C-alpha cells in the first residue's frame, strides 16, 4: 500500500485535562439522589473513582478501583443546563447515539468541566476509527440512550489489571505505562533469553499473587522476578480482555491476505489489512505484543523459542475469533457436525492462526516500518 506523507504531527500524550468531583445520575439503580464521584478526563476517556485516586489511602481502606467511564471520540459535543448545573456529553455514533449527563457542584465547576471536555474532545481519537468498539467498561447489552454512567456500565470493574478495555490495555488513564506494558518491557529486557519463555507455564497461584501485589502497591517488575510468571501475567491479561485484541472483521481481513500465494503480495496485503481495517487501539495493541514476540524470537539459540513456537503460544490469545469459528474458513471437511469434522476444523483454524502470526513475526520489520508508523500517526487525529 502506498501513500504520500506530509510532516507528521506530534502525537498528543494522554494528558489529564481535568480531575475533580462530579455527581452521577441515580437513574436505573435505585438510588434516591445523585452520587458524588471523582472524575479524571484525558483525550481518550472520562473515567471515575469512588474517591480521589491520588490521595493517600487510609490504613485498612479498600483499593480505590476505577468504577467506570466512557471512551471519547472527536464526534462528541457538550451541552450545559446552567439552572440545574447539568453537563451532557453527546455522541452521534451508534444506532441512536449516546448521551451522558453529569452534575457539577457549582456554576464555576460546570463551565470549567465544559471547557475541559471540549478541549479533550477536540484532541480525541477520530470517530471513524473507534466507532463500534467497546466503550470503556461498557456492557455490550446496555441501551445507548440518555442516562447515567451506571446504566451504561452496570458491572463495576473488579481489578486494576484484569478486564481492562482495549483502550487502556497499554496505558493508564494518567498516561503512564499499564501493568501489561510494564510486563512486556520486563520480558524484552530480562526474559527474552530465558529458555521456554512464553511456552513454559508458571504456577497459577503465583500469577494471581503477582497481580494482587501490583494492585496493592508493587507496581514495578524487578530484574530478579521469575520471567515465566511475568510471561503468564501477559497471557492472563490478554485472555481476560473484554474483547479480542484482533476483532473478527480484522481476523477475516488478515486471513484473506494470508491466502495470497505470492509472498511479496501476501505481506503487502497483510500490512494493508492492519492499516485499513484495524481500529487504532487494536492496531497499537497488536503491534506492541508482536514487538515483544519479535524480541523473544531474536534469541532462539538461547531461549529455544523459534518464531513458529512463539506464534503457537500467542496466536490463540490474539486471534480469538478465528479459533472461535467466527471467520469463514475454506476447508474440505464434510459439514456433518460430527466430532471428527469439528476437530479437523478446529485444527485447521489453529494452524491458520499460527501461520498468520508467524508471518507477522517473520515480516515484522517490513510490515511495521517507518512509513507504517507515520501513517498511524496521521490517522490518529
Residue-level pLDDT at 368: 87
CB neighbourhood size of 58 (10 A): 8
Mean pLDDT across the chain, nearest whole number? Answer: 78
Question: pLDDT over 90 for what percent of the chain?
Answer: 41
Residue-level pLDDT at 346: 73
Asked whether the predicted pLDDT for residue 299 surpasses 80, the reply is yes
Residue partners of 180: CB distance under 8 A and separation at least 6: 161, 164, 169, 170, 234, 237, 238
Residues 94-117, buried b or exposed e (16+ Cβ, 10 A)? eeeebebbbbbeeeebbeebbebb
Grid cell digits, residue 79: 451541552
Residue-level pLDDT at 62: 52
Residue-level pLDDT at 341: 61
For residue range 224-265, list pLDDT tens digits in order: 999 999 999 999 999 988 889 999 999 999 999 999 999 999
What distance, in Å, lies between the first and last C-alpha atoms of the chain? 20
Report how far apart, in Å, the C-alpha atoms of 76 and of each of 17, 79, 314 are.
16, 10, 36
Q: For residue 379, what pLDDT band results from cuts at 50, 70 and 90?
A: very low
Grid cell digits, residue 108: 464555576
Cα–Cα distance for residue pair 206/212, rounded to 1 Å? 10
Residues 353-370, buried b or exposed e (16+ Cβ, 10 A)? bbebbbbbbbbbeebbee
Three-state SS at 230? helix
More confident residue, 235 or 332: 235
Closest residue by Cα to residue 326 from 243, 238, 260: 243
Residue-level pLDDT at 233: 96
Phi-psi map region of 85: left, alpha, beta (phi>0 left; psi -120 to 50 alpha) = left
Q: Which stretches of the chain are assigned E, i.e. beta strand? A: 18-24, 35-41, 45-49, 66-71, 77-81, 86-91, 98-103
Report how far apart, in Å, the C-alpha atoms of 236 and of each of 74, 219, 316 are.
32, 17, 12
Q: Considering only 46-60, 167-181, 317-331, which range has the smallest mean pLDDT?
A: 46-60
Is 228 in contact with 196 (CB distance < 8 Å)? yes
For residue range 54-108, list pLDDT tens digits in order: 665 555 555 556 667 777 888 888 888 888 888 888 776 543 456 678 889 999 9
Report how far apart, in Å, the C-alpha atoms of 162 and of each of 5, 82, 289 are.
38, 39, 17
Asked whether the predicted pLDDT for residue 16 surpasses 70, the reply is yes
For residue range 139-197, list pLDDT tens digits in order: 333 333 233 444 444 334 457 788 888 888 998 877 889 999 999 999 999 999 999 99
Residue-level pLDDT at 61: 52
Grid cell digits, residue 103: 452534575
Residue-level pLDDT at 343: 65
Grid cell digits, residue 80: 450545559
Residue-level pLDDT at 65: 60
Cα–Cα distance for residue pair 356/93, rounded to 1 Å? 32
Asked whether the predicted pLDDT for residue 47 surpasses 50, the reply is yes
Q: Considering only 90-94, 270-274, 361-365, which range has the smallest mean pLDDT?
A: 90-94
Is 198 in contact with 296 (CB distance < 8 Å)? yes
Q: For residue 6, what pLDDT band results from cuts at 50, 70 and 90?
A: very low
pLDDT (average), residues 267-290: 92
More confident residue, 227 or 30: 227
Amino acid at each position: 500500500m502506498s501513500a504520500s506523507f506530509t510532516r507528521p504531527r506530534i502525537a498528543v500524550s494522554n494528558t489529564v485535562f481535568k480531575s475533580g468531583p462530579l455527581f452521577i445520575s441515580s437513574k436505573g439503580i435505585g438510588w434516591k439522589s445523585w452520587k458524588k464521584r471523582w472524575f479524571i478526563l484525558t483525550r481518550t476517556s472520562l473515567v471515575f473513582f469512588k474517591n480521589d485516586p491520588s490521595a493517600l489511602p487510609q490504613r485498612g481502606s479498600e483499593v480505590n478501583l476505577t468504577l467506570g467511564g466512557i471512551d471519547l471520540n472527536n464526534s462528541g459535543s457538550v451541552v450545559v443546563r446552567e439552572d440545574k448545573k447539568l453537563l451532557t456529553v453527546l455522541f452521534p455514533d451508534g444506532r441512536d447515539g449516546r448521551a451522558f449527563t453529569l452534575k457539577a457542584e457549582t456554576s464555576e465547576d460546570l463551565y470549567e468541566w465544559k471547557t475541559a471536555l471540549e478541549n479533550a474532545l477536540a484532541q480525541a481519537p477520530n470517530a471513524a476509527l473507534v466507532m463500534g468498539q467497546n466503550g470503556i467498561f461498557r456492557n455490550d447489552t446496555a441501551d445507548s440512550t440518555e442516562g447515567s454512567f451506571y446504566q451504561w456500565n452496570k458491572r463495576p470493574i473488579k481489578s486494576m489489571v484484569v478486564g481492562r478495555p482495549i483502550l487502556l490495555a497499554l496505558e493508564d488513564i494518567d498516561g503512564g505505562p499499564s501493568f501489561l506494558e510494564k510486563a512486556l518491557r520486563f520480558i524484552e529486557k530480562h526474559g527474552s533469553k530465558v529458555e521456554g519463555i512464553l511456552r513454559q507455564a508458571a504456577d497459577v497461584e503465583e500469577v494471581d499473587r503477582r497481580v494482587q501485589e501490583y494492585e496493592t502497591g508493587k507496581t514495578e517488575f524487578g530484574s530478579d522476578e521469575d520471567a515465566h510468571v511475568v510471561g503468564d501475567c501477559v497471557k492472563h491479561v490478554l485472555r481476560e480482555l473484554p474483547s479480542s485484541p484482533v476483532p473478527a472483521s480484522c481476523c477475516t481481513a488478515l486471513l484473506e491476505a494470508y491466502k495470497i500465494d505470492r509472498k511479496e503480495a501476501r505481506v503487502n496485503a497483510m500490512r494493508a489489512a492492519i492499516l485499513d481495517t484495524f481500529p487504532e487501539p487494536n492496531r497499537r495493541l497488536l503491534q506492541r505484543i508482536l514487538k515483544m514476540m519479535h524480541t523473544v524470537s531474536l534469541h532462539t539459540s538461547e531461549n529455544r523459542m523459534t518464531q513458529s513456537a512463539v506464534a503457537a503460544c500467542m496466536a490463540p490469545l490474539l486471534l480469538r475469533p478465528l479459533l472461535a469459528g467466527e471467520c469463514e474458513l475454506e476447508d474440505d471437511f464434510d459439514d456433518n457436525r460430527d466430532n471428527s469434522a469439528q476437530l479437523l476444523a478446529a485444527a485447521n483454524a489453529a494452524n491458520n492462526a499460527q501461520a498468520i502470526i508467524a508471518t507477522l513475526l517473520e515480516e515484522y520489520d517490513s510490515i511495521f516500518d517507518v512509513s507504517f508508523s507515520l501513517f498511524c500517526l496521521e490517522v490518529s487525529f
